[in-house]
C-alpha cells in the first residue's frame, strides 16, 4: 500500500518550489508514520527503508524504488485492545509537475495528490502464521470467491479476515482452501 501526503489542490503547482514553501520549510514533512494493527491476525508491519524514492520525469514516467524493512518501536497500543502500534519511515516525494518544461502535467498520472506533494510511505504486513479455522469463522468469512468472477483461481475458495490498519480496511489475511 502506498500512502502520500501533500496539499490536494489544483490552485498550487506540484513543483519543488511550492513543496518547499508550503510543506518542508514549515515543518510539515513527516519523517515517519504511526501504524496500528490488530495483533491477533497481523504479526508485524513492514515499511520502506530511509533510502526509498518516489520520483518522476516526463520522458520516463515515475520511478518508485522501495525496499521494505521491519518497522521500529513496536509496542502494545494503550488506546486499542488487541492492537500494536509501530513506526514506519517516510521519504520526501520527488514527483513534480512539468519536469521537462512541457505544458502538460503528467505527475497526476502517478500521484493521488494534485498540488505540492509532501512525503510517502509504503506499507505491508506479515500475517500471523497458522491461524486456526475458528478465527476465520469467528472474525471473518470462509470459502469465498474473492475475485467474484469465478474465473481467476476458480478452483480455489478463500477464508479471509478483514482487519483494520489505522482506519483503512484491507483484506490483509487470506488463506487458500484446497
Which range marks the domain in which residue 171 is found?
A: 133-177
104 and 159 within one domain: no
Task: Check residues 134 and 164 and name the one with the higher pLDDT.
Answer: 134
- pLDDT tens-digit map of 76-97: 999 999 999 999 999 999 999 8
- pLDDT tens-digit map of 44-83: 999 999 999 999 876 678 899 999 999 999 999 999 999 9
89 and 12 within one domain: yes
91 and 165 within one domain: no
In sequence order, what E strands does 39-167 have? 42-48, 53-57, 61-65, 68-70, 72-76, 83-89, 91-92, 117-122, 124-127, 141-144, 157-165
Radius of gyration of the chain (CA): 20
146 and 73 within one domain: no
Across the chain, mean pLDDT equals: 83
Task: Yes or no: say if 55 and 72 are a contact pair by the CB < 8 Å rule.
Answer: no
118 and 170 within one domain: no
Number of domains the chain contains: 2
Sequence-distant (6+) residues with CB within 8 A of 108 are 14, 97, 114
94 and 148 within one domain: no
65 and 148 within one domain: no
Amino acid at each position: 500500500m502506498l500512502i502520500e501526503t501533500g496539499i490536494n489542490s489544483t490552485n498550487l503547482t506540484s513543483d519543488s518550489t511550492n513543496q518547499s514553501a508550503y510543506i518542508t520549510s514549515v515543518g510539515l514533512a513527516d519523517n515517519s508514520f504511526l501504524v496500528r494493527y490488530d495483533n491477533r491476525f497481523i504479526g508485524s508491519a513492514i515499511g520502506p527503508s530511509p533510502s526509498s524514492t518516489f520520483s518522476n520525469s516526463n520522458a520516463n514516467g515515475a520511478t518508485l524504488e522501495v525496499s521494505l524493512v521491519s518497522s521500529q518501536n513496536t509496542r502494545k497500543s494503550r488506546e486499542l485492545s488487541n492492537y500494536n502500534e509501530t513506526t514506519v519511515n517516510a521519504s520526501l516525494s520527488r514527483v513534480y509537475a512539468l519536469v521537462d518544461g512541457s505544458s502538460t502535467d503528467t505527475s497526476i498520472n502517478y500521484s493521488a495528490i494534485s498540488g505540492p506533494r509532501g512525503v510517502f510511505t509504503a506499507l505491508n504486513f506479515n500475517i500471523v502464521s497458522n491461524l486456526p479455522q475458528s478465527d476465520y469463522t469467528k472474525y471473518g468469512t470462509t470459502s469465498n470467491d474473492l475475485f467474484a468472477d469465478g474465473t481467476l483461481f476458480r478452483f480455489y475458495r478463500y477464508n479471509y479476515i478483514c482487519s483494520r490498519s489505522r482506519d483503512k480496511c484491507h483484506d490483509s489475511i487470506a488463506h487458500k482452501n484446497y
